[in-house]
Amino acid sequence: MFTFGAILATFFLIIFGVSLIWGLIQLMRKKNIRKPLLFSGISFAIAIIGIVLVFTFPAPTTTQTTAEKTESKAIKDDTKIKEDADKKEQARLEKDAEKEKQDAEIKKAQALEVTKKIEEQKAKDEALKKKKEADELAKKEALAKQKEQEKLALEQKEKQDKQKASKKDELKSKIDLSSYGDYQFSGSANIKPLEAKIKTKKMALSFEWRNDDGVADKRSFNGSGVTVIAYQNNKELKQLDESTSGASQSIKKNTTLEIDYDYNLIDSSPVMIKMLPLEGDAKEFTFKLTK
């Protein structure tokens, strides 16, 4: 309240002085001085209130001896020095603790890394061992499989050689070339397969036919030294009556030879025709059966 009263008294005393000066100026100019007097009276009254507050609530004593000031400063300095020392010590302790923690983490990480490398090396050694064993086993199996395949191939070759020899002997015994002259299955002769049909439960084969001289004629196909063997699903078809095989033959439009064969068909799947000459390579044609 002392401070408030002092400020109040000072402020309004200034206003009081200004109002008095204003009133004097107005008086000198012979003008109305009512307002300056009013302002000066109000400001003086308020200033009196501020003065009363100042004297009613005096300011606290702030006097302090030099010794007390010196002692107080020394205490403050000691306190600050101690606080600074405590802070430094605390910082040092925290730094040491942090360093110990980091060292422990580094050692732990190094130990984990060493353990990981040992486990990885063990895994590599185990995988290498298994791979080596697997390679050895695969090598043994491949060698055994190769020997088995070689054995089967040899047996198959022997079987084919026997069948080929038997088929050749069979052709020689069934085909008579003396009545029809010679016919070359290879060379300049052309036989182009056209189609195969099921005709009255028989298989009718059609070929585009040209002889060595490029002219179609009515020479007997059966007597030319060529026999026909039919297969379905890699199985040789059985002839129902060998005496009728190739018996019904005709050449149409001078270029097409139609031959009927009496085979026991398995189903309607494509038929592979193998034409076997007396000499030379066999010719194979695959027909799609139609009704």
Q: What is the pLDDT of residues 41-76, one digit of tens each?
A: 787 777 777 677 667 766 655 555 677 677 777 788
Residue 175: pLDDT band by 50, 70, 90 thresholds? very low
Higher-confidence residue: 56 or 153? 153
**E strands in 81-181:** none
The pLDDT value given to residue 20: 76
Domain boundaries 190-290, corresponding CATH code: 2.60.40
Q: Is the pLDDT of residue 248 over 60?
A: no
The pLDDT value given to residue 67: 73
The pLDDT value given to residue 283: 64
Q: Give domain limits for the chain.
A: 2-56, 190-290
Question: Picking from 117-121, 194-198, 275-279, which range would have the lowest pLDDT averaged per residue?
Answer: 275-279
Which residue has 């019904």 as its token pair? Answer: 248
Q: How far apart are CA 1 and CA 55, in angstroms?
A: 10
Question: Picking from 108-117, 144-153, 173-182, which range would have the lowest pLDDT averaged per residue?
Answer: 173-182
**The tokens of 36 are what?**
């300056």
Which residue has 């129902």 as its token pair? Answer: 240
The pLDDT value given to residue 128: 92
Q: Is the pLDDT of residue 290 over 80?
A: no
Phi, psi values for residue 60, rounded to 5°: -65, 150
Torsion, Cα 206 207 211 214, to 10 degrees, reads: 120
The pLDDT value given to residue 270: 80
Among 136-140, 184-188, 255-259, name the most confident range. Answer: 136-140
Q: Is the pLDDT of residue 173 over 70?
A: no
Query: What is the pTM (predicted TM-score) of this model?
Result: 0.31
Computed over every residue of the chain, the mean pLDDT equals: 73
Name which of 226, 243, 242 is nearest 278 in CA terms.
226
Q: How far apart are CA 17 and CA 31, in angstroms?
A: 19
Residue 270 vs residues 13, 22, 232: alpha-carbon distances, Å: 133, 136, 7
Q: Is the pLDDT of residue 163 over 90?
A: no
Q: What is the pLDDT of residues 177-197, one digit of tens each?
A: 333 333 344 444 456 667 778
Task: Tell me the percentage of the chain whose pLDDT exceeds 70.
Answer: 65
Q: How many helices (H) and strands (E) does the chain have?
A: 3, 11
